[in-house]
Structures are given as structure tokens and as C-alpha cells.
Amino acid sequence: MNGVHDMGGMQGMGPVQYEKNEPVFHAVWEGRVYSLNRAIRAWRKWNLDTDRHGIELLPPADYLRMSYYERWFTRLLTNLVQFGFVTKEEMESGKPAPGSSRATPALTATMSSGFLSRGIPSSNDPKVRPLFKVGQRVRARNINPSGHTRLPRYARGKTGTIMIDHGVYSFPDTSAHFLGEKRQHVYSVRFTARELWGESASPRHFVHIDMWDDYLERA
């Protein structure tokens, strides 16, 4: 979706604000929100792409105002109700519904280190044929899906060169919405800054963007 999260190339956001000796979490609640999100994903009711889309769905003004972990907390509340973990009544009372059964946590402390090292699947599955090859000129398609996508607006319609074939990954645009993994090749595509930003850009500036087969067409 063409949301406010798709920030590449926007202007007017001000200077970078740097904090010296920044702590990992600025308050205890941030660490709890982070780990609640991780622990609940161990239930596998939704995936990483669904989670990313949950943040994108925040109203733009809220997205810009909220701190990072406030966004995570708000998304979590929404997901918990939507995917049936917690009823609205339980959110209201803060207590489990009378007579409701107690679950067994999907993630325990002894499991957590193994859980952390479990990977995002990819493969070199030869049955999934690449549509493009290294060195080929390609154009990022001009698409504007209203759901989740990882094709940033600033690259659409722009021409670049395939530099690396990263292998086969599931396709976020479908996987976020439980429409299948639609596994396909992902490439590192190099764009000149002049192609992206016009003739005033430096000829010695390049942007490398990772793109799925479905984002590309022959140039």
C-alpha cells in the first residue's frame, strides 16, 4: 500500500536525531512489548509479513507520532483480538473470561534460544526458475497494490541492473494476506541515483534494492 511507512525519498522529516550511548530499551515496557510480539509469533497464527503490514495499517498521523514500540504494542492489541487470542470482553476486564480454558504457552524460556536461531526459510530449489539473470537490465514494475508490498514507491518504473541472485523466497505481497507463499527468486538490483532522482544526482551514487521476480519486467 502507498502508506506513510514507504519513506524512501521523502523530504521535510528534519535532521537525524542521534542519542549517544543509547540503551537497547528505553523503558521496561519496551522490552516487554518486543518480547510479547516475539513470543506470540511462536504460535504461528500469522507471519513476519502480516506483522509488517499490521504496522503499515496504522493511520498515518499515528504512525508518525508514535514511538517505535508504541506501534508494536498497538499492532499487537489489534492482532490478539483479530486472531482470536483475546476477546474484546477480556480486553475490557483485563481478566480471562470465566470458565475459559487455559492454554499452554507456545514459547518457554528453555525454548527461547532455539527459537531465536530458527531461520526465515529460503532455498536454492532448482524447480523454482529465475525469470532474470545477473547482468540483465530490468525495470521495476509500476504497481500500486493496496495490500502489503516490499516494492518501494521511489523505485517503481525505474530501470536498473541485476547484480546478485539471492535465491528463492516467499512473496510478501501474498504471504502477508495468507494467499500463499508464491516462492520466487529475489535479486539485488542496482539503480543509479540519476535514474532514481534525476540529473542533479551524483554520478557516483548508487542504490541497491532487493526485489522479487514479480516486481520486475525486462527493460
Partner 1 sequence: MNTTRRGFLTAAMAAAAHGQLGAQESGHDHQEVPSDLTLRVKALESLLVEKGIVDSAALDALVDTFEHKVGPRNGARVVARAWADPSYKKRLLSNAPEAIAELGYTSGQGEHMLVVENGPKTHNLVVCTLCSCYPWPVLGLPPVWYKSAPYRSRAVIDPRGVLAEFGLQLAEDVELHVWDSTAELRYLVLPERPSGTENMTEDQLAVLVTRDAMVGVAKVPAPRPGGNE
Considering only residues 47 to 76 of the shown chain, the ones binding partner 1 according to CB under 8 A are 52, 55, 58-59, 61-62, 64-68, 70, 73-74, 76
Roughly what angle, to the nearest 10 degrees, separates helices 68-82 and 28-41?
Answer: 40
d(CA 50, CA 176): 4
Positions in 177-206 near partner 1 (CB under 8 A): 186, 188, 193, 196-197, 202, 204-206
Cα 85 to its chain centre, rounded Å, is: 22
Positions in 127-146 near partner 1 (CB under 8 A): none
- In the complex with partner 1, the residue whose CB is nearer, 62 or 180, is 62
Taking the complex as a whole, how short is the minimal distance between the CB of residue 146 and partner 1, in angstroms? Answer: 16
* Per CB under 8 A, 44 contacts partner 1: no
Among 78, 124, 142, 144, binds partner 1 (CB under 8 A): 78
Instruction: Residue 72: count other Cβ atoms within 10 Å of its Cβ.
Output: 18
Q: Computed over its alpha carbons, how large is the radius of gyration of the chain?
A: 21
Among 129, 137, 208, 219, binds partner 1 (CB under 8 A): 208
Q: Is 14 exposed, middle or buried (0-12, 13-18, 19+ CB in 10 A)?
A: exposed
* Per CB under 8 A, 22 contacts partner 1: yes
* Per CB under 8 A, 120 contacts partner 1: yes
β-strand partners of 191: 207
